[in-house]
Structure 1
Amino acid sequence: MKVAFYTLGCKVNQYETQAIAEGFKKAGYEIVDFDKQADIYVINTCTVTNISDRKSRQAIKRAKKISPDSIVVVMGCYPQVYPQEVQKIDGVDIVVGTRNREKILEYVTEYLRKKKKIVDVNNEYKRDIFEELKVSGFSERTRAFIKIEEGCEQFCSYCIIPYARGSVVSRSLDSILEEVERLASNGYKEFVITGINISAYGKDLDYKITLLDVVEEISKIEKVKRIRLSSLEPIVMKEDFIRRLVNIEKLCHHLHLSLQSGSDKILRLMNRHYTTEEYRKIVNTVRNYWEDVGFTTDIIVGFPGESDEDFDITVKFVQEIGFSRIHVFRFSPKKGTKAYDMPDQVSSQEKDKRSEILKSIAKQLSLNFHKRFEGKILDVLVEESSSIEGYIEGYSGNYIRTLVPKKDSIKLNEIYKVKVTQVFDEYVIGKIII
């Protein structure tokens, strides 16, 4: 039988889909592209925004249009938060939340036998154990994702994720290292440490261990060449943490440090637990150690109560910090969050306006960052053929998208020294010197 997978959302979802796909493959299923005819479609959903929910529904309709008699499995954050809504969607046969994903293959077998809808959604916030979903490779990916924890306890006023993923549960260090060893033996050189809130790793464990302990242990594995961290919370970046962090030689000089707003008033309304002054201090401290560090971040525009003055303060702050890349999001009121019912909602037109302004500034900041490396040498992991004709591309340690002319002698999944010859806001072009 043929099975197809579709993943929305974050790196954690991509990791989980890969693990489930491997289970189907081991059971003898043939994995096909989502736009091809299949007997089973597994849709791993996201519910961060209302747009994410809509995309999930569209994927369900697409699957049924391609293969009307297929079995459709909807899993992940969307059914976890809105199980009744998902169950009512035409064509959905199996509904699984963010627990018991390892049972999906079993549920498909049961459905084939009984032809009866299956729903498995546990709404308890507290989680006791980390659900192991191990992987041995990533289709069409050169970098390996390593999921080290599940859950978030931040409860930012705009965010539904704590309700979708539950409390923090950490993966054992032995399990993490075993997976890294296996993937490194399979040829992976760069490892991206991911989770719902990796900054909280270890807080639920009886023995004392932190994110830094994990990264330091991974760095001891000889075949691991680079380690990259996914999003970090500023509250974890204390002085001792930074000192240990910057001494990990294999760690990429790139930090995604979540900001969300440059206005302290809005940060308080968002229930973010830091100030812009604290954020500024973190950035400056890291730059004292890593001159070439790339800081990327997320900004939400149009949060309830964000005045023109608040937005102007945010603009000035992001320009001062000099991010290498900014992901700009329009505030999307999410039912079930505190911000959904907040007063002083910002109009859609104003959100659009602020989004366009900030995206324009973000482009200029990216260009400014790239210009710093013109004529200099970057270590680049070559990953894939570029959408730009005649080039292949990858990312530098500090997360600059780098293109080099395509040649037969250049191998994918190899790290090369590249001299930057041209710079643009979205990427740089260079030539391999080693």
Structure 2
Amino acid sequence: MPLDSQKTVCFVTLGCKVNQTESEAMAQLFREANYEVVNASEEADVVVVNTCTVTNTGDSKSRQVIRRMIKAHPESVVVVMGCYAQTAPGEVLGIDGVDLVLGTQDRMKVFEWIDRVQAEKAPQNAVRDIWDAETFEELPQLREEHRTRAMLKIQEGCNQFCTYCIIPYARGPLRSRLPENALAEAQRLVEEGYPEIVLTGIHTGFYGQDLGQGWNLARLVRELDKIDGLRRLRLSSIEPMEFTDDLIESIVSSAKLCPHLHIPLQSGSDEVLKRMNRPYDLREYRDLLERLRQRIPNLAVTTDIIVGFPGETEADHASTIEFAKACKFAGIHVFPYSKRKGTPAAEYPDQVLKKLKEQRVKELIKVARDSQNRFSSQFVGSSVEVLIEKVDAKGWALGHTPHYIQVQIPCREDGRQWSAGEFITIILSEHNLRLS
């Protein structure tokens, strides 16, 4: 195809890191079909909107973005994929100007569907029942100009059905990526210059449950540890009940796995955890942290907490504050509870008033800031390794330590530029820390 006839595509992505990873993979799929990937502000033959549905607000924002992109690109083929598209395909198709609804599966067939849209000159719904999905869908390996940290998706789906969460309906049942494919992609990523890989998925800790033959996350970590040239390995979110003795042993014995784990808590009240259908209590969570910290000194543990879940009392909130302080987290992502239509919690009585939620969020954010600053400050005066991820306009380098502490490093004294992907060792000072 002559260069002047090369087609173009742009992407707009909402939501989580899994969505970001899948958009990057889809961009590579289009490149392999001889499309040029352009910015969303430029003219494009195809516009892809990757949507989120975690909250009703996510649905609303997705609709706003879809309409904005249709208005900005009236002549383009508009493709809507992702979780909102999967859970409400009819609603999405009803938006005037949407040409194709793709969902969270069958993404490799996007060009067949685009051809059908153009041949029939009519919108198409490509969404299938997500519970028919039996295998992990392989998408192309991502390729970026600045190779620092790569997301390696190893798992799809969730069978947990927390009462506030729509994700099982958007992503379907647990499906694990074949280990040979995950390991081959990890090897390619390292060969292409990525020094750090993050294992990601919807329920990463349950990797291998559907595979048999002794495969689980612990075994995959041990195999990844053997890859020459891989400097750092990280795990994305791991649920408390997914930490088996085998997984803990693989984390402890790994020479490459970073000493940072993200373990969602969601509430510091046992009563709230029960209503959320979370399969652990505070004692089990606390015991897990103690076990991990006994084996991994200075382990960084980050978490998620939902504030204002239906029925949350002042006592529940106070318990969450005290438990969060006691856990000494390296970071806390604080989320106000948001109703999600189609989930049991949306129909629960005793919904917490918005103003009260906002006040509780402020109180917990203060705890989060203090906890993060306290954890980071303990490394001041220590020698730490930093992977540079980007360099700002002033020449300062920004990156993370193995404990996922974000640092900033001034310009080189010799006047040379720092480079993304470069590892450097510094004596950490308060000036390096981006304290909140």
Uncovered stretches (5+) of structure 2, i.e. residues with no partner: 1-6
Equivalent in 314, 331, 337 of residue 343 of structure 2: 337
Render the CA deviation track for 1:258-314: whole Å, top value 9, x for unaligned.
Answer: 100011111111000111111111111211222221111100000011000000000
Q: What is the 5 A alignment of 1:6-21?
A: 6-21=12-27
- Alignment partner for residue 380 of structure 1, among 376, 382, 386? 386
Residue 108 (str. 1) matches residue 121 (str. 2): no
Q: Provide the aligned C-alpha RMSD in A.
A: 1.7
Q: Secondary structure at the match of 1:128?
A: coil
> What corresponds to 2:168 in structure 1?
162
Q: Secondary structure at the match of 2:294?
A: helix
Give the TM-score normalised by the residue count of structure 2.
Answer: 0.94
Q: Residues 201-224 of structure 1: CA distance to partner in whole angstroms, max 9, x if unpaired? A: 111113221011111111100011
TM-score (norm 1): 0.95
How big is each residue's C-alpha offset from its partner over 1:192-244, in whole Å with a ceiling of 9 and x where there is no partner?
00011011111111322101111111110001110000000000123443233
The reply on whether 1:399 has 2:408 as its aligned counterpart is no
Residue matched to 1:92: 98
Per the alignment, residue 288 of structure 2 pairs with 282
CA distance in 2 between counterparts of 1:198 and 1:244 reads 15
What residue number does 1:56 align with?
62
Please state how far the C-alpha of 1:386 moved relative to its aligned partner.
Answer: 4.0
Asked whether the 8 Å contact 1:136–1:182 carries over to 2, the reply is no
Amino acid at match of 1:351: K
Give 1:115 shift: 1.8
Structure 1's 423 and 278: CA in aligned 2 closer, same or farther, altered over 3 A?
A: farther
Matching of residues 246-395 of structure 1 within 5 Å: 246-386=252-392, 389-395=394-400
Q: 2:388–2:419: 8 Å Cα contact kept in structure 1?
A: yes
Moved more, 234-243 or 399-408: 234-243
Aligned length: 427
Instruction: Name which of 222, 231, 234 aligns with 2:237.
Output: 231
Residue 376 of structure 1 deviates from its aligned partner by 0.9
Distance 1:164 1:172, change over 3 A: same
Paired residues of 2:408 and 2:433 also in contact (CA < 8 A): no
Measured in 1, the distance between the counterparts of 2:246 and 2:173 equals 26
Confirm or deny: 8 A CA contact 1:371 1:423 kept in the other structure. no
How has the CA–CA distance of structure 1 residues 140 and 103 changed in structure 2, closer, same or farther, with 3 Å as cutoff? farther
Q: 1:425 to 1:161 in 2, by over 3 A?
A: farther
Aligned partner (choices 245, 251, 255) of residue 251 of structure 2 = 245
What SS does structure 2 have at the residue aligned with 1:421? coil
1:81 matched residue in structure 2? 87
Q: Which residue of 2 aligns with 1:431?
A: none
Counterpart Cα distance in 2 of 1:279 and 1:272: 11
Q: What is the distance in 1 between the residues matched to 2:259 and 2:329?
A: 13
1:44 is aligned to 2:79: no
- List per-residue Cα deviations over 1:19-72 (Å, max 9, x = no partner): 111121121111101122212110111111122212211221221232222111
Q: Quick check: 1:366–1:426 contact (8 Å CA) kept in 2?
A: no
5+ long unaligned stretches in structure 1? 429-434
The CA deviation at 1:113 is 3.1
User: Which residue is 1:416 aligned to?
Assistant: 424
SS in 1 for 2:112: helix
Q: Which amino acid aligns with 2:407?
A: T
Secondary structure at the counterpart of residue 154 of structure 2: strand
Shift, 1:365, TM fit: 0.8
Q: CA deviation at 1:124?
A: 4.0
Shift of the alpha carbon at 1:167? 0.4
Stretch moving more, 248-257 or 284-293: 284-293
1:57 alignment partner, SS class: helix
Partner residue in 2 for 1:192: 198
SS at match of 2:291: helix
Match of 2:128 in 1: 122
